[in-house]
C-alpha cells in the first residue's frame, strides 16, 4: 500500500490576483521572500514576512492575522513550505504556483521598495 502525502492547495497567478485585489480583497497576498528580494520587487499590496521569520515562530502582521492568505515567494518552493506551516498553525493558506517569477511573466505589476517598477531578484 502506498502512502500519499496530502499537498497544500495551490493557485494560479490569475486566481491569486483575483483573491487579493480590489477594495475588499477576499485574501491577503503574503510574500515570504527575504528582505533584499522584497525590496527589489514585490506585488502591490502584498504583506511581507520572510519564511525564515515564520519558521522561528514569528506571527503575522495585524493586516494578515485571521485572514485567508495567498502565499508567494520567488518560484513557489518557499511559499509551499510557508503555506503548510501556516495551515498547521490554523490559518487558511494557499500558495501561488510559480511564485513571483510567474507573477511577473503573467504581466502583473512588480514594485520596488520605492514604489517604482521593480524586478524579481
Catalytic residue ranges = 73
Cell 477576499 identifies what position?
26
Cell readout for 99 is 511564485
How far apart (Å, rounded) are the C-alpha atoms in residues 53 and 117?
Answer: 27
How far apart (Å, rounded) are the C-alpha atoms in residues 121 and 117?
Answer: 13
Give the other-Cβ count within 10 Å of 77's Cβ: 12
Amino acid at each position: 500500500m502506498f502512502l500519499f502525502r496530502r499537498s497544500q492547495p495551490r493557485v494560479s497567478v490569475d486566481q491569486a490576483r483575483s483573491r487579493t485585489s480590489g477594495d475588499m480583497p477576499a485574501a491577503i497576498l503574503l510574500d515570504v521572500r527575504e528582505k533584499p528580494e522584497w525590496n527589489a520587487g514585490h506585488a502591490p499590496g502584498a504583506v511581507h514576512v520572510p519564511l525564515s521569520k515564520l519558521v522561528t515562530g514569528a506571527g503575522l502582521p495585524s493586516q494578515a492575522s485571521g485572514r485567508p492568505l495567498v502565499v508567494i515567494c520567488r518560484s513557489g518552493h518557499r511559499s509551499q513550505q510557508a503555506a503548510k506551516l501556516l495551515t498547521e498553525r490554523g490559518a487558511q493558506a494557499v500558495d501561488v504556483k510559480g511564485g513571483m517569477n510567474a507573477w511577473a511573466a503573467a504581466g502583473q505589476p512588480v514594485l520596488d521598495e520605492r514604489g517604482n517598477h521593480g524586478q524579481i531578484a
